[in-house]
Amino acid sequence: MLAEITAEGRRQLARDGAAALSLRSVARELDMVSSGIYRYVESRDALLTLLIIAGYDRLGSALERAGADEGTPRERWRATCGALRAWARANPHEYALLYGSPVPGYAAPPDTIDPATRVYAALAAPLRDAPAPADRPALSGALATDGERIADGLGLTLPPAQGVALLGAWATLFGLVSLELFGHTHNVVTDHDAFFAHHVDALARGLGL
């Protein structure tokens, strides 16, 4: 039953976006009276959380699939990044729900952080077999420990500088996808494929892939 609710929720999310998702309409679609939904899902926000978790899971597995192919680390990086963009373009509302604006002041429910790190882990996987570039400057205090924490959280052994470089690469990646998806580059970039590929390669070089 709860599965049916999230499935219907996902359909409405994909069609009309998160703002238009209403508990009443999923109840209607499930031939249930509106109040009946509340036996299964506590509130609208709870349904959104469910959908966020499902979204991270689907995106994570898509990235894992894309990165599982044989190839050099750089090829796997390219494939993973390409899969991220492809998924975002295929599921814009879901992407917006995951990486767009939450209500600021909003604390992600703890249930979401595991699926969320799954996505990051998939993006980090190509680094596992590649040596970090040696010419990086050493890091100062807090940044160094943050870099270690990043690597630790992913279960990778990376130099701290590589960890913070990786997080920066993610920022670029999500920035690129968001700018494109949210229409901020419509008047400027014509060949989004080439543009994205260009920067993905630049990131790969920066990470030593």
Binding site for DNA (CB under 7 A): 1, 21-25, 31-36, 38-40, 43-45
Query: Considering the complex, what minimum distance in angstroms separates the CB of residue 10 from its own copies?
Result: 15
Nearer to its own copies, 70 or 183 (CB): 183
Residue 208: left if φ>0, alpha if ψ -120 to 50, beta else—which one?
A: left
Query: Considering the complex, what minimum distance in angstroms separates the CB of residue 55 from DNA?
Result: 18
When CB distances are held under 5 to 8 angstroms depending on the partner's kind, the choice from DNA, its own copies, none that residue 58 binds is none
CA distance 178 to 166: 18
Phi/psi of residue 158, nearest 5 degrees: -130, 150
Binding map of its own copies across residues 37-66, x = CB under 8 A, - = no contact: ------------------------------
Q: Are 106 and 156 in contact (CB under 8 A)?
A: no
Phi/psi of residue 100, nearest 5 degrees: -80, -155
In this chain, which stretch among 21-29, 48-56, 69-77, 171-179 interacts with its own copies, using CB under 8 A? 171-179
Residue 68: left if φ>0, alpha if ψ -120 to 50, beta else—which one?
A: alpha
Q: Judged by CB under 8 A, does residue 99 bind its own copies?
A: yes
CA distance 192 to 179: 11
When CB distances are held under 5 to 8 angstroms depending on the partner's kind, the choice from DNA, its own copies, none that residue 36 binds is DNA
In this chain, which stretch among 4-12, 48-56, 124-132, 173-181 interacts with its own copies, using CB under 8 A? 173-181
- Which letter does DSSP use for residue 130 in this model? S
Of 62, 5, 72, nearest to 39 by C-alpha is 5
When CB distances are held under 5 to 8 angstroms depending on the partner's kind, the choice from DNA, its own copies, none that residue 118 binds is none
Q: Judged by CB under 8 A, does residue 145 bind its own copies?
A: yes
Would you state the structure tokens that stand for residue 31, as one six-digit string? 């031939």
Q: Are 163 and 148 in contact (CB under 8 A)?
A: yes
In the complex, the residues that contact its own copies under the rule CB under 8 A are 17-19, 92-93, 96-97, 99-108, 113, 116, 139-143, 145-146, 149-150, 153, 164, 167-168, 170-176, 178-179, 181-185, 187-191, 194-195, 198-199, 202
